[in-house]
Structure 1
Amino acid sequence: MLSSKRVLTIRVGGKERKRKVRTLLLDLAHFRNMLIILITKYKELYGMYPLHQSILYGLVAKTYTGKYRQEFEKVLKNIESNPKLGELLKKLKTQKERIDNPHYVQYVIRQVIRDFKSFFKAVENFRANPERFKEAPRPPKPKKLRYLMNFSVEGNANTFKQEGDKLIIKLRNGKYLKVKLPKDFSLRVSSVRLKLFGNDLYVDLVYEQEVEARNPVGEYTAGIDIGLDEMLSLVSENPNLKSFVISGKEIKAFNQWFNKERAKLRSQMDCLKNEIKRGDYKDTKKLERKLRELEIKEKVLSAHRKRWLDNNLHKIARKLLDLLYETGHKVIYIGKNALESKNGVNLGKRTNQNFVSIPFRRLVELIKYKAQQYGIEVVEVDESYTSKTSPFANVMEIQRTKNKELCYGERMGNLFKDKVLNKVFHADLVGALNIMRVGAKLLRLSFYENLKILFIKLCNPLRLKLIDLFYKVSSESLWIGGSRQGVSVPAGWMEKLG
């Protein structure tokens, strides 16, 4: 058995229930803002960041009970000697009393410390390799609560109790949130997270579950090329398995719809802001109410996009792993250049909007996460030159030398003209095949001897829309059938591959 930490996300409904949770999270976010301001101003005055957890919590506590009293008294004396810092500390204490939940306050303090340490690490990396950054890293800064889109806090076992089919979460003294658990949910919850995203509120239940560890039923490998219109193109080493392409057009179309709707809302918001700024309209409060309504609509739209994408990406990863496990795969090689190239990519306004906004990295992480249950290994591979290189060329040598003359082929849009066999293949499938060769460090695969199988894999993929992938396709429907006229490889090419 394999012990796996899992998360169950439950969406909070009900106007009053959402109000209670939202108010708490906004109070915690305000506490975080004031704490960041205090730490930053202390650094400006005294040349150091006070980032010790015990000292920071002691500053907002009634009395200090830690073991770093000398350091604490020094920091407290410095703060009290400055009127602005002293006033800020009083407000911070008042906000802590208003929150009335020390466990969540401790979490926010720890999170702020982690944010500053991440900033220090990023600065070190920037100094060592400035070419990897578009600009110098910036320290944590306060966020406007009005535009707060994403905020979460985590509570330990002291913040909730599990009673039968309900989980009772303490928000403040006398205020609780009751969450109904799924039917027959008998697992012990170790911690809970309260999350605000857009206009939605969620409760994440973190628990550990014993999962039966599976072992792969075969020794085959598969290569996956990631793209936009053709999101996942897969070629398998299994000679009996068809290559298939999972369409990304539904996700692309949804993303385009989202961008258009958000652009409409932002255009209306900009017009209202300009009217308020000019002061031509007498009833500015009415304009401000309209502006606030549009801001809420934008948050609702963003939350809808996140739910839709998460749902479909989970389904894609699960179905893909089911198919590969049933057809005897042990290792999956995934090209990673498409993921890394999104950082600072400039492919034109329209392509950037489509490509950069789609969370490919999230999909790969979900595939890795779900592959653990099946005992399947997922390896990310450098995919440079893979979709521009013949399956009969030494792709590892080409990546090393960057000599395009050794590719023995040419990519034309979504097609690849192979100069070895003088045939036309699907470019993304050629890329997936070469990704598999690079990952496995093999110049030739087991099915190379049978060219009709190679042609079927590279020329006739099964094209799957998302609805087909989720509800229609099965491992049996991916079986190769029929026959093709034999074609011989030009003399000497197999010897070159070894």
Structure 2
Amino acid sequence: MKVKRTEQIYIGENETISKLCHISKNLYNQTNYVLKQQFIKKEKLSSYEDLVKLFQTPSENDEENNYQKLPAQTAQWTIRKVREAWSSFFKALKEWKKHPEKFTEMPKPPKYKDKHGEFLLIFTNQQCKIEEGILKFPKIMNLEVETRLNDVDLREVRIIPQGVGYIIEIVYMKEIEDIAKGEPHRIMGIDIGLRNIVTIGDSISREGIAVKGGVLKSINQYYNKENAKLKSINDRQNKDKRLTKRQKRLLVKRNRKIKDIMHKLSKAIVQ
């Protein structure tokens, strides 16, 4: 049986990636503008295929040629993401009309991305390849990244902006053994908590298992303490309430630590 797996790799700030993610954001907003105008005018929204054809044609204004500044398949994925966002909006709107009690407010059309922000980059398995533990990107990226993977069924690679640095997601298919049917009399219960991250009991062992949450508590306490210091400094220096780069780095580091612990814990439980 084949299952989808994802390896995540964090990398620091990168000028080339930042530039291309910014262009991807511009293309996202361009596409969103076209669809939003059609929505306002109550026209039929362009299909994904029509949008690709529209932006494949270069403009006399080079600032608008965001499609041409990205690898073709990557640009097409950005357009696809916008179209998917609109499809989700219409689906939510339809559900809201039937069951408004499920929503706190009427669904709104997809918003534009921040003018100075970035949007993700998606590369297909035709654009990227893994050779001897090295993930290689298209030449325009001038980027190679070490990975624990080698001979795998690569599907796609995503670069996701984090505000400070980027997460590279390598999506691949992995062959695993079919899950055997369990025995009805073998039962396990798992309780998620704060003092104990997990408490496990089953119908076989006499004693249960409890995993204390001290490590996670320590990580969060350190994060809260350092973040409070940085917030205090920022509040004294300016009125901008947004997270500073130092706060973002601290948050990313904290999230990565917790995710790593939880991943190792879940793997140990399954095994």
TM over 0.5: yes
Task: State yes or no: 1:125 paired with 2:124.
Answer: no
Task: State yes or no: 1:5 paired with 2:4.
Answer: yes
Equivalent residue for 1:54? 49
1:192 aligned to which of 136, 143, 157? 157
Aligned to 2:43, the other structure's residue is in SS state coil
Distance 1:137 1:266 in 2: 33
Q: CA deviation at 1:147?
A: 5.8
Distance 1:147 1:94 in 2: 18
Distance 1:141 1:91, change over 3 A: farther
Aligned to 1:158, the other structure's residue is in SS state coil
Equivalent residue for 2:21? 25
**Which structure's CA Rg is the greater one?**
1
Deviations 1:118-144 (A, max 9, x none): 111222222323333233322211222
Aligned to 2:244, the other structure's residue is in SS state helix
Q: CA deviation at 1:302?
A: 2.0
After TM superposition, list the pairs within 5 Å mapping 1:3-402 onto structure 2: 3-12=2-11, 18-44=14-40, 46-48=41-43, 50-62=45-57, 93-97=64-68, 99-144=69-114, 146=116, 151-170=119-138, 172=140, 175-182=141-148, 185-213=150-178, 215=180, 219-238=185-204, 240-274=205-239, 295-322=244-271
Q: CA deviation at 1:249?
A: 4.3
Larger fraction in helix: 1
Q: CA deviation at 1:26?
A: 1.9
Contact 1:12 1:203 in 2 (8 A): yes
Aligned to 2:211, the other structure's residue is in SS state strand
Aligned to 2:111, the other structure's residue is in SS state coil
Instruction: Give the share of equivalent positions with the same residue, in percent.
Output: 24
Contact 1:22 1:201 in 2 (8 A): no
Deviations 1:325-378 (A, max 9, x none): xxxxxxxxxxxxxxxxxxxxxxxxxxxxxxxxxxxxxxxxxxxxxxxxxxxxxx
Amino acid in structure 2 at the alignment position of 1:54: E
Contact 2:191 2:199 in 1 (8 A): yes
Q: Higher relative contact order at CA 8 Å, sep ≥6: structure 1 or structure 2?
A: 2
What's the TM-score once normalised by structure 2's chain length? Answer: 0.84
Contact 1:50 1:56 in 2 (8 A): no
Amino acid in structure 2 at the alignment position of 1:225: D
Amino acid in structure 2 at the alignment position of 1:9: Q
Amino acid in structure 1 at the alignment position of 2:136: I
Distance 1:139 1:10, change over 3 A: same
Distance 2:93 2:27 in 1: 26
Distance 1:126 1:61, change over 3 A: same
Distance 1:257 1:37 in 2: 43
Q: CA deviation at 1:53?
A: 0.7
Distance 1:243 1:51, change over 3 A: farther
Aligned to 1:96, the other structure's residue is in SS state coil
Equivalent residue for 1:467? none
Aligned to 1:142, the other structure's residue is in SS state coil
Contact 1:169 1:177 in 2 (8 A): yes
What's the TM-score once normalised by structure 1's chain length? Answer: 0.49
Distance 1:216 1:40 in 2: 50
Distance 1:48 1:262, change over 3 A: farther
Contact 2:24 2:120 in 1 (8 A): no
Deviations 1:197-246 (A, max 9, x none): 231223222222222345367541112233333332333222x3312333
Aligned length: 270
| Aligned CA-pair RMSD | 3.0
Structure 1, 211-220 or 133-142: larger mean CA deviation? 211-220
Amino acid in structure 2 at the alignment position of 1:22: S
Q: CA deviation at 1:295?
A: 1.9
Contact 1:31 1:92 in 2 (8 A): no
Distance 1:272 1:91 in 2: 39
Distance 1:233 1:189, change over 3 A: same
Distance 1:205 1:255, change over 3 A: same
Structure 1 runs (4+) deviating above 6 angstroms are none
Aligned to 1:95, the other structure's residue is in SS state coil
Q: CA deviation at 1:257?
A: 3.4
Distance 1:91 1:132, change over 3 A: farther
Distance 1:301 1:56 in 2: 39
Deviations 1:139-174 (A, max 9, x none): 2112225465xx4332112312344443321163xx
Q: CA deviation at 1:195?
A: 2.0
Q: CA deviation at 1:112?
A: 0.5
Contact 1:232 1:246 in 2 (8 A): yes
| Structure 2 segments unaligned to the other structure (5+ residues) | none
